[in-house]
Chains A and B, each alone.
Chain A
Amino acid sequence: VRPLTLKGFLKRYLQELSEAKTIGIFTLAKLAYKDNPRLRYPLYLYARESGKLKIFNSARKLYPFEVANDGKTLQTFEYYQNKAENDNHTKLLMYNRIIALQKQKNVSNYRIYTDLALNPGNANAFLKYGDISKCGLSLARHILDYLERV
Chain B
Amino acid sequence: MFMKDVMELAMNHNELLKRLRRLDEDVSLLYENDERLHCVIVGGSALILLNCITRATHDIDVVKCSNEIRDLLHKYDFNERVQTKDFLLRYDDYVGRYKS
B1 within 8 A of A: yes
A141 to B6, CA, bound (A): 21
Q: CB distance A1 to B6 under 8 Å?
A: yes
Q: CB distance A83 to B75 under 8 Å?
A: no
Q: Which of B16-50 contact A (CB under 8 A)?
A: 22, 25-26, 29-30
A14 to B9, CA, bound (A): 10
Q: CB distance B6 to A4 under 8 Å?
A: yes
State which of A1, A76, A86 has its C-beta within 8 Å of the C-beta of B1: A1
A50 to B3, CA, bound (A): 18
**Tally of contact residues, B, Cβ under 8 A:** 21
Q: Shortest distance in angstroms between A74's beta carbon and chain B's nearest beta carbon?
A: 11
Q: Which stretch (A25-33, A89-97, A103-111, A116-124) binds chain B?
A: A89-97
A63 within 8 A of B: no
Q: CB distance A12 to B79 under 8 Å?
A: no
Known: A12-B9, A71-B81, A86-B75. A2 touches B29 (CB 8 A): no
Using C-beta atoms within 8 Å of the partner chain, give the interface range for chain A: 20 to 34
B residues less than 8 Å from A72 (CB atoms):
59, 79, 81
Q: CB distance A94 to B29 under 8 Å?
A: yes
Q: CB distance B6 to A83 under 8 Å?
A: yes
Q: Shortest distance in angstroms between B37's beta carbon and chain A's nearest beta carbon?
A: 16
State which of A12, A76, A79, A82 has its C-beta within 8 Å of the C-beta of B3: A12
Q: Shortest distance in angstroms between A29's beta carbon and chain B's nearest beta carbon?
A: 20
A136 within 8 A of B: no
State which of A8, A13, A71, A97 has its C-beta within 8 Å of the C-beta of B29: A97
Interface residues in chain B, defined as those with a beta carbon under 8 Å from any beta carbon in chain A: 1-4, 6-7, 9-10, 22, 25-26, 29-30, 58-59, 74-77, 79, 81
Interface residues in chain A, defined as those with a beta carbon under 8 Å from any beta carbon in chain B: 1-2, 4, 8-9, 12-13, 16-17, 71-72, 75-76, 78-80, 82-83, 86, 90, 93-94, 96-97, 141
Apart from A76-B77, A79-B77, A90-B25, what 16 extra A-B contacts exist at CB < 8 Å? A1-B6, A2-B2, A4-B3, A4-B6, A8-B3, A9-B7, A13-B9, A16-B9, A71-B79, A78-B77, A80-B6, A82-B75, A93-B29, A94-B29, A96-B29, A141-B25
